[in-house]
Chain A
Amino acid sequence: MPELLSPVGSFESLRAAIDGGADAIYFGTEQLNMRAKSINSFSLEEMEAVAQICKTHGVSAYLTLNTVMYDHDMQLIKTVLRRVKECGVDAVIASDFAVMERCREMQIPLHISTQANVSNVETVRFFAQFADVIVLARELSLRQIDHIAREIKRQDIRGVSGERMRLEVFVHGALCMAVSGKCYLSLHEQNASANRGACTQNCRRPYAVRDLETGNELVVDNEYIMSPKDLCTLSFLDEVIRSGADVLKIEGRGKSADYVYTTTQCYRQAIDAVASGTFAADKVKGWMEELSKVYHRGFWEGYYLGRKLGAWTTSPGSAALERKVYVGKGSNYFSKIAVAEFEIEAGALAKGDTIMVIGRNTGVLKLSLEEMVVNGEYASSARKGDLLTLPIGRKVLKTDKLYKLVTNDA
């Protein structure tokens, strides 16, 4: 069965990916990765902790080093790759030849990023001299992927390690209108280079088409003419797996831990269902309901089924059915009785509410408030300034955040 690869942009997401059942995670450090602008980024010093946590849980860790590289980056690339070696990160994901060459010299396993736009078996063979895994272009159909996978077997194309080349495909998450993410829109509009990790998501805004001579605006049926819906392959994941993909990747290093947890868990269960022959429509329905609750811009099947790009978002931001409202933070943890105390800082909670705790040690915990202990006494509600105690098996830290889950009416 293929490997499930989840995005990680924080220690909270890392925990969420592990709990959700990821086989591997990918992450970036500060610069030189396509989510550099994202506030969720690890420092070079934190690389060791990420690698260590992954090793403890038997999860592989891959570092993204996949931006366009300039001459002034060469020393930094060396520094980062030395850290990769020291920390035991399992592989690097890159598209620049300088990084590929350096990885080969330093004998660091390499995955070719989707930025390289690999779309045929000859290119796979070319990159085999540097890498072991190819992240295929997102624009391929399942038939094309199937052909490449068969040819790799038939021609016995092997990577640097001597093992047969493996193929990775995106199964879930944001898509963009640019071919393999090579977009100039942010740079053109705001001088922010998407290819240096500073995408400002201009494509996600509504646009109008105006006749400059008359000033008349053309009526377009959707103003979000450059913003595709998110990729979701869950309903045909059995076909994706049959096409010969070895690694299934979820997009979203810039997204929150609850997104990572839910998407990872759904795809884990779906992969396991395909493996056991129990993948069926009723299960897909359940998973789709779960996926709809976390961040997404509406779903479509991507290019895999050979359809033209025709599914555009119709509103800004997320179409998630649920949203988190910040309520408070962890204030104490009583290890002997496994009880966590939270300080309510905003809003209010009542019996029956669904809450979510997110933390680097707790990961993502979704709970229903069946019973409430507020300021040491049983109660039916809690408000700002109150202390809420809950039985939680994992140590809650002061950096843990408590949210109330509400239906998203927006």
Chain B
Amino acid sequence: MPKLVQYRHRCIGCAVCCAMQPRYWRMSRKDGKATLLNADLKKSVYVLGVSNQVAEEMVEVAEACPVRIIKIF
């Protein structure tokens, strides 16, 4: 299963991921960074298992992130 990974500590809160895929991303009102919904925190990175179709949809989001902290493995 493909994995969606976010290096959240480097997020600058530009909100592009949330604008493109609001079902998966929320802007945190606590610290202004993007939160990957339902993701597990593993060694300071957030990881979410996704279907192949979602992984494909997220490619656009990963490319749009200006600080390149969203990866798909």
Identify the A interface with B (CB < 8 A): 30-32, 36-37, 70-76, 79, 186, 190-193, 196-198, 200
Q: By the criterion CB–CB under 8 Å, are A198 and B32 in contact?
A: no
**Which residues of B2-24 are within 8 A (CB) of A?**
11-16, 20
Question: Which secondary structure dominates where chain B touches chain A?
Answer: loop
Bound-state CA distance A75–B28 (Å) is 9
The answer to whether residues A37 and B27 also contact, given A192-B64, A200-B66 and a CB cut-off of 8 A, is no
**A-chain residues with CB within 8 Å of residue B31 when the two chains form the complex:** 75-76, 79
Distance between Cα atoms of A192 and B67 in the complex (Å):
9
B12 touches A72 (CB 8 A): no
Q: Is there contact, CB below 8 Å, between A70 and B66?
A: no
Neighbouring A residues of B12 by C-beta, 8 Å: 30-31, 36-37, 196-198
- Lowest 6 CB-CB distances: which A-B pairs, in order? A192-B66, A198-B66, A76-B32, A72-B27, A191-B64, A36-B12
A373 to chain B, nearest CB (A): 41
Which applies to chain A's interface (DSSP): helix, strand, loop or mixed? loop
> A247 vs B27: C-alpha distance in the bound complex, in angstroms?
37
In whole angstroms, how far apart are the Cα atoms of A32 and B11 in the complex?
11
Chain B residues closer than 8 Å to A79, beta-carbon distance: 31
On whether the beta carbons of B30 and A196 are closer than 8 Å, the reply is no
Contacts of B13 in A (CB 8 A): 31-32, 36, 72-73, 76, 196
Residues of B within 8 A of A72 (CB): 13, 15, 27-29, 32
B71 adjacent to chain A (CB < 8 Å) = no
- B11, B15, B20, B64: the one contacting A70 at CB < 8 Å is B15
In the complex, chain A residues whose CB is within 8 Å of the CB of B64 = 190-192
Residue of B15, B20, B28, B31 most packed against chain A (CB within 10 A): B31
Interface contact A198-B14, CB-CB below 8 Å: yes
CB distance from B72 to the nearest CB of A (A): 17
A196 & B32 in contact (Cβ 8 Å cutoff): no
In the bound assembly, the distance between CA atoms of A197 and B11 in angstroms comes to 11
Bound form: Cα–Cα A388–B56 in Å = 52
The answer to whether A196 touches B67, judged by C-beta atoms less than 8 angstroms apart, is: no
Q: How far is the CA of A402 from the CA of B32 in the complex (A)?
A: 37
In angstroms, how far is the closest chain A Cβ from the Cβ of B68? 10
| Complex interface: chain B residues within 8 A of A76 (CB) | 13, 30-32
- For B16, what are the chain A residues with a Cβ–Cβ distance below 8 Å? 191-193
